Structure formats: structure tokens, C-alpha cells
Structure 1
Amino acid sequence: MNPLQSPRMPAFPPPPPAPPGTPAAAQAAPSFKAILLEGIDQVNAMQHSADAAVQQLVTGEEIDPAMVLTTIQKADMSFRLMTQIRNKLVQAYQEVKEMRI
């Protein structure tokens, strides 16, 4: 085992090399903004999925109540995580804003 690697942390393989001729800009990792917007879109999709499942249950359609509950809990958990991320970002912004230059 590598002495710098934690025994509990799995080793991540290096990213695959880019195909030859690919410009450097295309090889760059996605921006923070893109990752954040993708996460927000995923949370929004989970919320819509939970709403649709509840609507199906209320209207008497054939749907498993356990699946509805699981869908609601997943949407709730993802929304809470998104809220915590937002809170941390606001806190970091406030700290940077209050720094003396």
C-alpha cells in the first residue's frame, strides 16, 4: 500500500488520456458552474419525479406506495444536501468578502 494513501479511501484510477488531436480546452474538466447547474437540475428532476409519484398515488393509479415513499425521501435528501451546499457557499463568500486586503 502506498504510504500516502489512506486505508479507508479507495484509490481512484487516473483519467483516461484524451484522444490525439483533441484541443486542450476540450480536455479540461467541467467548470464549477457547470457542475453546480447539473446538480441543481438533478435535484429539480428528483423533485418533479416525487411530485409525479405522489400525484399517481393520490389519483389511485397502479403504483407501489413504498416506491412513492422512497422517491419522496430521495428528493428530500437531495434538496437538503443542495441547501447545505448553498449555505456553505454563502458562508465562504461572506468570509472572503470580510477579508482585509
Structure 2
Amino acid sequence: MAIESVSLFNPVQINPTSSTPKISPFEAQQNFGDFLKSAIESVNANQKASDVVTEKLIRGENVELHDVMIASQKASITLNATMEIRNKVIEAYQEIMRMPV
């Protein structure tokens, strides 16, 4: 059984040395918005997958306990990582707002 990675983003997406062409601020906002949306959808998908296998276990269907625990931990880790990223973004925003102009 292969274990999939638990990642909110692909490291290629955040490579600062990549030679991408210049894009407009609007396109940058769109790309960033799409990135955030896909990351949140990934967290949601992990939560739903965990719920599905947990329900199967509760109903007594043929599902292994370790698969339920792996899905549950994957959902928990992605949610915790998302919350920590959110906290750091808010902290950075607050720090920028405290800067004198």
C-alpha cells in the first residue's frame, strides 16, 4: 500500500528562482487566489475522505482500522497546517499595520 504525501502545495509552486515571465498585478492576484482556493479545497477533500471511511467503519463495512486512522491523521495534519499558516499570515499583517509610515 502506497502512502500519499500530506502537502498543501507542491514545492515547485513556491520556487523563487524559477524564470517565470512578468505578470500583471491582477494576474498575480488571480494566481494567488486560485492557489489559496485549491489549498482549501485540498483540506476539505481530506476532511471528507476521513468522514467517509469513518462512516464505513461505523457501519461495519469492509474497511481496515489503519486506513481510517491514516485518513483521520492526514485530515488533522492538513487542517492544523492550514490553521498555522493562517495564524502566521494574520500575525504578519498585524506587524505590517503596526509599522510607522
TM-score normalised over the length of structure 2: 0.70
Determine helix, strand or coil for the equivalent of 1:77. Answer: helix
Q: How many residues align?
A: 81
Encode CA deviations 1:23-45: one digit per residue, 9 max, x unaligned: x77xx776222111110110001
Which protein is bigger by CA-based radius of gyration?
A: 1
* Higher percent of residues as helix: 2
Stretches of structure 2 that go unaligned for 5 or more consecutive residues are 1-14
**Alpha-carbon shift at residue 60 of structure 1 (Å):** 0.4
Give the corresponding residue for 2:43: 43
Aligned to 2:91: 91
Normalised TM-score (structure 1): 0.70
Q: Distance in 1 between matches of 2:37 and 2:85?
A: 12
Aligned to 2:61: 61
Question: In structure 2, how many angstroms separate the alpha carbons of the residues matched to 1:89 and 1:74?
Answer: 23
Moved over 3 A (4+): none
The root-mean-square deviation of aligned C-alpha atoms, in Å, is 2.4
